[in-house]
Copies of this chain bind each other. A is one copy, B any other.
Amino acid sequence: MIAQHPGREQIRLENVLSALGNPMRLEVVRVLAAEGERACGGLLPGVSRSTLTHHWRVLRDSGVIWQRPSGRENLLSLRREDLDARFPGLLDALLDAAEANAAAVARDANH
């Protein structure tokens, strides 16, 4: 099926937050913010494809990412403009927080 994205005005904060409350999806957003548009595959190694599809759907339905077919791939990108327009400063704060959080998690793992 063709992906249907919510309009900018339909984006709801609670959906964005619960979407990003999942570590896998938060990691995806981190990668997209750092590296720009990317294909679906390879973003989360070791996870089955149907699980990935599920997470793309959640991110797309909550308004966090664009999903654009290109050949046999699907390209993902952050909806940075819409998120910034809707919730100014939130995305940048979230990305900074995600970085700090990832560092803390890594520190814990080695502790």
Contact = CB atoms under 8 A, between A and B. Distances in A.
A105 B21 contact: no
Contacts of A88: 93, 96
A13 B98 contact: yes
A87 B18 CA distance: 18
Given A86-B100, A96-B87, A21 B18 contact: yes
Given A87-B96, A101-B87, A14 B18 contact: no
A35 interface: no
A107 B50 CA distance: 36
Interface of A: 9, 12-15, 17-23, 26, 86-90, 92-94, 96-98, 100-101, 104-105
Nearest to A17: B21
Which of A9, A21, A104 has the most CB atoms of chain B within a 10 A radius of its CB?
A21
Given A93-B87, A97-B87, A22 B12 contact: no
